[in-house]
Amino acid sequence: MTISDRTPDLEPAVQAGDDPREFAHVLSAVHDAAMSGGRMPARPRPVIDDSWRRLQAAGLDPDADSGIGRLLDLDELEERRRGSGLAEVVDDLARNLDSLIDGGDNILVVADAAGRVLWRSGSPRVLTRADHLGFVEGADWAENSVGTNAIGTALMSGRSIQVFSAEHFVRSHHSWTCTGAPIRDPRTGEVLGVVDVSGPAATIHPTTLALVHAVAKLAESQLRELHHRRLDCLRAVAAPILARSPGPALAVDVDGWVAAVDSVSPRSRLLLPRGVGPGRRFFGALGECDVEPLPGGWLVRVAEATGTSTTSVVLRTVTTAVGGECLEVAVEGPSGGWTHQCSPRHGEILSCLARNRSGVTAAQLSTHLFGVDDRVVTVRAEMSRLRRRFGGLLMTGPYRFADGVEVRHG
């Protein structure tokens, strides 16, 4: 007898009409035999069998407590969230899976590409149960840490999967069912993370996998649309600058995706050199280029034989349309310029960085903004927003204006 895969595209654990209690009983016998080396009364699904074999070869103990390892601290967790590529779709994931969470039996979890739990939501009752398994924000739920589960095994298989009861490698997870679907970067196809719905084993339903899979695909579509929207905004800013450019040039976002070109062969992406910033840089595809910051990206001009590229930043206080005052940032480069009016907090940060060209730490910025040095998470979030706007004008480690950028108050 084989407990076979039910469809070629998804990995459901049960079908409509299956008795979960009876199925759980069979799975328990299969698990016991597989872990002891005995004769199994049925074969697990291939995706589960592959997972068990990997974990047995790695020496993971099915009777051990969950080995989630060290939890991320709050700063590390915030950093992972910002770098995951998923922060902008988390709210929509929760909204679209609300029907599965509303009943109070399931929790929603979003993990990154390494299996780290970044966000979770659900009723206090089910969250408390999850706490006992170490299923908490900052925990490592990669397969080699906690055994077969919908997060780690979806990452290993690259497929949407449901893991029910004793299909989990670790026995302490047998009272749970979990359903996970990978979310891929629509630009590259690389897995960004997994959206997962987990709860007591009795809550399993054959339609859950299809819904979670569909929501993951919707998130990918939303990420694709956000990417196109950002490129459109960058293109609108770059078009008049490219029109005045004396030679071949491109406008690219911070990851090198091309928004517009002028006198350069069309391409979708430009490989950016490590630590790219304003000034003369070598690009493998183009040779020596002069780089200037744009809102959300870079202007890359194929360099002439002589000359250098200098970017200047002028900070000046201006009157807003409603009669108030704000800091306006004017950026000027050899090919043109652009301006941006800042919020009061962003204005304070930029003014502080202008006064401290050697840079300031997150704790120092926290003291400057709030009078205490422990608001570093807020500072890092604000700096992340500023760097999305000003691209390579702002650097990290410590926070500062990039070398070679002339900064003055107007």
Strand partners, 362: none
Map tokens 């790695």 to a residue. 58
- Domain-located, residue 58: yes
Question: Looking at 225, 260, 283, which one is the last position of a domain?
Answer: 225
- Is 230 part of a structural domain of the chain? no
Phi, psi of 359 (to 5 degrees): 110, 160
Let me know if residue 291 belongs to a domain: yes
Domain membership of residue 10 (yes or no) is no
Q: Does 89 share its domain with 180?
A: yes
Residues 6+ apart with CB under 8 A from 145: 66, 67, 68, 69, 115, 152
Give the 3-state secondary structure of residue 222: helix
Helical residues (DSSP H) of 121-250, grouped into ranges: 124-132, 143-146, 150-157, 207-244
Six-digit token string for 360: 């300031």
Whether residue 85 sits in one domain with residue 47: yes
Burial of 68 (C-beta count, 10 Å sphere; 0-12/13-18/19+): buried
Distance CA 332, CA 111 (A): 41
194 and 95 in a common domain: yes
CATH number at residue 24: 3.30.450.40
Q: Are residues 70 and 160 in the same domain?
A: yes
pTM of the model: 0.74
Q: 321 and 271, same structural domain?
A: no
Domain count of the fold of the chain: 3
Given 302, 330, 350, which residue is the final one in a domain?
Answer: 302
Going by C-alpha positions, the residue among 79, 293, 113 that lies closest to residue 188 is: 113
Residues 76 and 159 in one domain: yes
Same domain for 262 and 372: no
**Domain assignment present for 9:** no
Q: What is the pLDDT of residue 336?
A: 62
Q: Does one domain contain both 53 and 153?
A: yes
Of 225, 256, 271, which residue constitutes the final position of a domain?
Answer: 225
Where would I find the beta strands (DSSP E) of 238-393? 249-253, 258-262, 279-283, 287-294, 297-302, 311-319, 325-333, 336-341
| pLDDT one-digit tens code per residue, 131-153 | 988 999 999 999 999 999 999 99
Q: Is residue 14 part of a domain?
A: no
Domain carrying residue 121: 20-225
Helix or strand (DSSP H, E) at 192: strand 191-200
Quick one: tokens of 260?
A: 């517009």
**Are 184 and 136 members of one domain?**
yes
Q: Decide if 393 is inside a domain.
A: yes
3-class secondary-structure state, position 81:
helix
- 83 and 130 share one domain: yes
Report if residue 71 sits inside a domain: yes
CATH of the domain at 359: 1.10.10
* pLDDT per residue as tens digits for the range 183-228: 999 999 999 999 999 999 988 888 999 999 999 999 999 999 999 9
Same domain, 333 and 286: no
The verdict on 289 and 315 lying in the same domain is no
- Output the tens digit of pLDDT for each of the chain's 410 residues: 344 444 446 777 877 667 888 989 999 999 999 999 999 999 999 999 999 999 999 999 999 875 567 899 998 999 999 999 999 999 999 999 998 998 788 999 999 999 999 999 999 999 999 998 899 999 999 999 999 999 999 999 999 999 999 999 999 999 999 999 999 999 999 999 999 999 999 888 889 999 999 999 999 999 999 999 999 999 999 999 999 888 899 999 999 999 999 988 888 999 887 778 888 887 866 778 899 999 999 999 998 754 455 778 888 888 876 677 888 888 877 656 678 888 888 999 999 999 999 999 999 999 999 999 888 888 888 888 887 777 667 888 899 988 778 898 87
Q: How far apart are CA 284 and CA 314, in angstroms?
A: 32
